[in-house]
Amino acid sequence: MSAVLSAKGLVMRFGGIVATNNVSIDLQKGARHALIGPNGAGKTTLVNILTGVLRPSEGNILLDGQDITGLAPHQRVQRGMVRTFQINQLFDSMTPLQTLALVVAQRRGLGGKWWQPVGSDAGVAARAGELLEQFRLAEVATQPTRQLAYGKRRLLEIAIALACEPRVLLLDEPVAGVPAGEREELLQTVAALPADVSVLLIEHDMDLVFSFANRMTVLVNGTLLTEGSPEEIAADPRVKEVYLGHGCGHDTPQGTDIQNG
Amino acid sequence: MLTILFDGIAYGMLLFVLAVGLAVTLGLMNFINLAHGAFAMAGGYITVLAMQRLGVPFLACLPLAFVLTAALGALLERTLYRPMYKKPHLDQVMFSIGLAFMAVAAVDYFVGGSQQNVQIPQWLRGRTEIGDGALLLGMGHYRIFIIAICAVLTVVLQLLLSRTRFGSRLRAAVDDPRVAAGLGINVNVVFLLTFAMGSGLAGLGGALGAEILGLDPTFPLKYMIYFLIVVAVGGTSSITGPLAAALLLGIADVAGKYYIPKMGAFTVYLLMILILLWRPQGLFTRKGGR
Amino acid sequence: MDAQRYQAALRAGARPRLWEFVLWALAFAAPLVLPQHALMVNEIAIVALFAVSLDLILGYTGIVSLGHAGFFGFGAYVAALFAKHVMPDPTVGLLVAMAATAVLGAVASLTILRGSDLTRLMVTLGTALLLLELANKLDWLTGGADGLQGVVLGPVLGLFDFDLYGRTAAWYSLSVFLLLFVLMRRIVHSPFGATLMAIRDNRLRASAIGIPVVSRLAVVYTVAAAIAGAAGALLSQTTGFASLDVLAFDRSADVLLMLVIGGIGWLYGGIAGAIVFKVLQDSLSSITPQYWMFWIGLILVLLVLVGRDRLLRPQTWFRREKGAKA
C-alpha cells in the first residue's frame, strides 16, 4: 500500500527555535492514524506545515505522489487535504446552512459564480441539508453561527471539513472543550467516516485515541519519538516516560551554580 | 548635494520626533491614531501664540509646548481614547479622523486659516558653509539646532526605554499587555504616560518644525501621511526602526523635490508603496513584530 | 427540513423586496416631481454609487481603504478628458472611464493583498495621494489646480440632451446607478459573494476550505474600483468639470462616513448614508459654511463612541458595553 500523504524530513525553524525537527510521517490510504505527544510537542505546527499555513525550512510533502510543498493552502484543499482547527474557526456572521452551502459550492467548483443567487443549485442545498442532519445541526441551521452553543460550533467545525469531501482529513483535537454529553455524537461521526478517507487525528484523550487508531506517531519537542501500532506504543517504556515523567534522579546537586543552567 | 543630505537629515530627525509617539502608541495600544498630527499642530500653535501674545521667548516655548501638549494628550487618553482600544481598526480610524477634523476646524475658527510664522531668535538664523563646489555643505543654524535637539531626545528616549523601570514596564506591556498586567504592571498608567509623552513629543516637534514645515490649520492632514510612513516603514517594535525610516523619508523627500521638482511628493509616495509591497511588516521590524 | 426548504431558506436573502422597488421608483420620480432638486438628486445618486462601491471592499471583504477617492477621481478625469479630446458621447465615455479605472484597480489590488490593517491603510492612502500629486503636476493634461474646464457632453444615447435643470443628468446618473446596483446586488448574493463574506469573517478558514483568497480579493477590488470610476465619470460628465478635489482625502473620508452612518455590509447602507450625509451637508453648509469639517468630525467621533451598531437604538447609548470584543 503506498502512502496517500507522505512528508519527509520536515524542519521548521522560528528564529532560533526548532519547532519541528526532521519529522517524517506517512499516511496510508484509509488510515486511522493518531498523532500524540505532550503539550508543546509541535503537533499543531506539523499540521500547519502539512496544510501549507507554514512553509517548512526543510523537507517536502507528497500527496498522491505529487510534490505539494510549494502549494498554497487553498490549493491543497482543492486536492483533497482538509483540516479542522483546535480552536473553532467559523464564519460568525453566516448561518450553518449558509456556511455548509458555501463549502459544498466551493467544493463543486461553483464558488466563482457571481450572477446566480445562492440557493439556485438544488444539489448544493440538498448536500448541505444532509450534512446539517448528519451533524444534528438542523434545528440551528438558520441561526447566525455566533449565537450557537460551543458544542454545536464544534460540530459545525467538523461538518465544514467533511463538506469539503476530503481524501485526507487532519483533525486537530476534535473533542477539545466539548462537554462529556456531546462527545459521543462527535466520536460516532468521526468513527463513521468513509473507509477510504485517510484520517490523521491529534488528540489528548487516550480512550478516543486507542479506540480509533490503527497506527500512532509520538511527537516530543518537535521530534519523532516513535511510531507503530497502538499495542506497540502502549507497551513502549519511552512513551510512558514522556507522559508520566522520570522517576527520581534529576535533583540539582548541592551548591551548583543555578544561573549557569 | 551634501547640503541636501544635511537638510534631509534635519527634516528626517524632525519627522522622527513628530512620529515616534505614533509608533509607540500603535505598538503599545494597537491603536491607529490618525489625529496624532493634531498634537503636533497644537504644539506649534501654543508656541506661536505664546510668543506673539505673551512675549515668551522661543527657547522657553519648546518645553512649554511639550508640557501642555502632553497634558492635553493625557486628558484625551483618559477620557476619549481609552474606550477605543478594543474597538476594531475601522472604528479607530474613523474616530481619529473625526478628532483631526474637529481640531483642524477649531483652530481655523479660533486662530484663522493663514500661515503662522515663528520668529526664531537671531542667533539661530545664520548659515555656515564648509567646502565649495559640488561638496558644498551649507548648514542653516536652525537646522543644526534641530538636529542637536532631536539627537538628544533620541538618546534620552533610548535610555528611558532600556535603562529605567518605566522603560522595561513599557516594553513588557508592548510585548504582551495581558501578561504584563498579570505581573502587576499597571498597564493603564503605562498607556497614559506613554500616550502623554508621545503627544508631548509631537507637540515639541510641531513647535520646532513650524519654521520648516509651515503651520496652518491643515497641518494634521497634510503631514499625517508622513507620520504614517515613518511608522509603517519603520515598524513599531523599536525606536531605531522609525528613526531610520524617518531619516530615509526626510532625505528622499528633500532630494526628490530638489532633483525632480516636477514630481514633488510623488517619489515619496511611490517609494513608500514599493517598500510596503516588498516588506509589509515594515523595513525595520523584527520578525513577528506588529 | 427537506431539500426544498433548505433551498428556499438560502434564496430568501436574494429576492428583491417590495420596498426596494418603491425606493427606486421614488428616486426616478424625484426629478420629475421635484424639478428644483434635480441637481441634488444627481449628486446623491453619484455619491451613493461611490459609497456602495466602497461597501464591496469594506463591508464584504473587510478591507479598510482610505484612498477609494483615487478611483473616483481617476474615473472623473478620464471621462472628462475623453469627452474633451476624443468624443463627447457620455455612454462611451463612461465605459472607457470604467475600463481604465478597472485597469488601475487591478494594478492597485496587488498592493492590498498582504500586510496588516495599518499597511493597507497606508498603501490605499498613498495610492490616492500619488494620483492627486500626479494630477496636480501634470497640469498640462489635467488643468492642475484650476481644474479641467470646457468639458461639453453630447446627448445621452444620442437622444437626451443635458438640460439646464439637471433632469437629464439626474436620470442618467440614476439609470447608471441602478444598472450597477443590480450588478452588485447579484454579486453579493451569489456564491461568489458568499466566499467574500467568508473571507471577511475568517480569512484563515476561507483558505482552509479551498477559497483562493488572493484572487478573490483582487477581483473584488478591481470591480469596486471600476464602479467608483463610473461614479466619478458621472460627476465630471454631469457637471462638465473635473478638479483636484475629486481625488482629495476628504472624499475618501466622506464616503467612509456615509457607510458608517448607513451601515456597512448591506448595500443599501451606502444609499442611506449618502442621503443622510448630503442632506446634512446641505443644511449645515447654509448655517456654517466654513466649519462643515468640524461637524463631520464631531459626528464621526460620537458615532464611534456610541457604537456603530447601536446608532439606531438610542436606548442602548448610555448602557455600558458588556465584554467588548478583544
pLDDT tops 90 at residue A222? no
pLDDT band at C308 (very low <50, low <70, confident <90, very high): low
Instruction: Specify the higher pLDDT residue, B126 or B230.
Output: B230
Q: Which amino acid is at A247?
A: G
ipTM metric:
0.85
Q: Which residue of C has its CA nearest to B23?
A: C118
| Cα–Cα dist B94/C273, whole Å | 15
Task: Return the top range by mean pLDDT from A64-73, B275-284, C218-227.
Answer: C218-227
What whole-number distance in Å separates Cα of residue B145 and Cα of residue B151? 10
Find the mean pLDDT for residues C38-44.
89
Name the pLDDT band for A254 (thresholds 50, 70, 90): very low
**Domain presence at residue A258:** no
How many beta-carbon contacts under 8 Å exist across A and C? Answer: 143
Domain tally for chain A? 1
Q: Which residues of C touch A82 (CB under 8 A)?
A: 208-209
Residue A260 has pLDDT above 80, yes or no: no
Closest Cβ opposite residue C137 in set B90, B106, B266: B266
**Mean pLDDT estimate for chain B:** 84
Q: What local confidence, expressed as pLDDT, does residue A75 receive? A: 93
Q: How far apart are CA C273 and CA C47, in angstroms?
A: 10
Mean predicted confidence (pLDDT) in C211-221: 93
Q: Are B77 and B138 in contact (CB under 8 A)?
A: no
Class of the CATH domain delimited by C35-287: mainly alpha
How confident is the prediction for chain C on average, in pLDDT?
85
Mean pLDDT value across residues C78-96: 90
Q: Would residue A42 count as lying in a domain?
A: yes
Own/partner long-range contacts of C185-189 (Cβ < 8 Å, ≥24 apart): C185/C16, C185/C267, C186/A114, C186/A115, C186/A116, C186/A117, C187/A114, C187/A115, C187/C56, C187/C223, C188/C56, C188/C60, C188/C267, C189/A117, C189/A118, C189/C13, C189/C14
What is residue B282's predicted lDDT score, i.e. its pLDDT? Answer: 67
Determine the 3-state secondary structure of A35 from DSSP.
strand
Q: Which range among B124-128, B193-197, C122-126, C219-223 shows the weakest confidence by mean pLDDT?
A: B124-128
pLDDT value at C204 more than 50: yes
Give the model's pLDDT for residue A247: 46
| CATH number, position A49 | 3.40.50.300
Least confident of B221-225, C141-145, C253-257: C141-145
pLDDT, one tens digit per residue, over B159-184 is: 888 888 878 877 777 777 778 888 87
Determine the Cα–Cα distance for residues B163 and B180; give it in Å rounded to an integer. 18
CA–CA distances in Å: residue A17 to residues A7, A36, A39, A55, B287:
21, 21, 16, 15, 13
Closest to C47 measured CA to CA, from C264, C275, C220: C275
pLDDT at site C322: 41
Query: For A20-65, what is each residue's pLDDT tens digit?
Result: 888 998 988 888 899 998 887 888 889 999 999 889 988 999 998 8
Of the candidates C12, C205, C207, which has its C-beta nearest A91's C-beta?
Answer: C205
At residue A244, the pLDDT reads: 67
Dist CA A133 CA A128 (whole Å):
9
Contacting residues of A for C15, CB less than 8 Å apart: 117
Using the beta-carbon criterion (under 8 Å), do B269 and C133 form an inter-chain contact? yes
Q: Phi-psi region for residue A32, left (φ > 0), alpha (ψ -120 to 50) or beta?
A: beta
Q: How many CA atoms lie within 13 A of B278 on its CB side?
A: 9
pLDDT in the model for residue A250: 40
Q: Closest-CA residue in chain C for A51?
A: C208
Structural domain harbouring A101: 3-245
Q: What is the DSSP letter of A141?
A: T
Q: Mark yes or no for CB contact C115/B280 under 8 Å.
A: yes
- Tens of pLDDT, residue by residue over C147-156, are 888 788 888 7
Contact C184, C267 (CB under 8 A): yes
Q: State the CB neighbour count (10 A cutoff) for residue A253.
A: 5
- What whole-number distance in Å separates Cα of residue C159 and Cα of residue B60? 71
- Going from the C-alpha of A85 to that of each of A141, A158, B15, the distances in angstroms are 21, 9, 44
Q: How confident is the model at residue C312 (pLDDT cuts 50, 70, 90)?
A: low
pLDDT digits (tens, 9 = 90+) for B109-147: 888 888 888 777 877 787 877 777 667 777 788 888 888
Neighbouring subunits of A (3+ Cβ pairs under 8 A): C
**Percentage with pLDDT > 90 across chain B:** 17
In a domain, A257, yes or no: no
* Residue A254 falls inside a structural domain: no
Identify from A50, A85, A114, A145 which residue to disrupt to test chain C contact, counting C C-beta atoms within 10 A and taking the largest count.
Answer: A114
Tell me what percent of chain A is helix, strand and coil, each rounded to the nearest 5. Answer: 35, 25, 40
Sequence ranges of the domains in chain B: 2-220
- How much is the pLDDT for B286? 55
Class of residue B200 by CB neighbours under 10 A (exposed 0-12, middle 13-18, buried 19+): buried
Greatest extent of chain C over all pairs of C-alpha atoms, in Å: 67
Q: Which one of A90, A111, A129 has the shortest CB-CB distance to C195?
A: A111
The answer, as to whether pTM is greater than 0.90, is no
Helix H or strand E encompassing C280: helix C268-287
